[in-house]
Amino acid sequence: MSYWLEGLGIGVAAVLLSWVVLVLLARRLPPGATRELARFLPACVTAVRRLRRHPAVPRGAKVALVVAGLWVLSPIDLIPEFLPVIGPLDDVVVVALALRYAARRVPRDVILEAWPGDPRILLRLLGPASPDEAGEPGRG
């Protein structure tokens, strides 16, 4: 039994050490798109947490956001996190889908207010504003 605990401890230590190394490397990235992409998942987690508490977000959107947040935090993934580049891909896709779902039900300014990163990345993810949000006459 002690071999299992020792192996588990080594595995957890290796994952934590790799996260620290990745965070340190991400902080050294030059300003630009690469740096913003490295900040995407942490920004998504922050936005989900902020939107979950906002009164303008309907219950269905909150549920989708919480599921996306739990997916990101879950150690069980479709693509293992330790694979470089493609590891966090399933997390990014799930969060992007949840944000797009919420964006159809929540005013755009509420989502932009909750987003801690570069708003251009979020606007690109959300797509064009609906006619109601753009100030054009909507469908009655």
Asked if the model's pLDDT at residue 33 lies above 80, the reply is: no
Mean of pLDDT values over 83-101: 76
Asked if the model's pLDDT at residue 137 lies above 50, the reply is: no
Mean of pLDDT values over 14-31: 76
State which H helix or E strand residue 23 sits in: helix 2-27
Phi and psi (nearest 5°) for 23? -65, -45
DSSP one-letter code for 75: S
Q: How far is CA 56 from CA 50, 52, 66, 109, in A?
A: 11, 10, 16, 11
Residue 65 contacts residue 56 (beta carbons within 8 Å): no
Asked if the model's pLDDT at residue 136 lies above 60, the reply is: no
Residue, of 120 and 23, whose pLDDT is higher? 120
Q: What is the pLDDT of residue 37?
A: 65
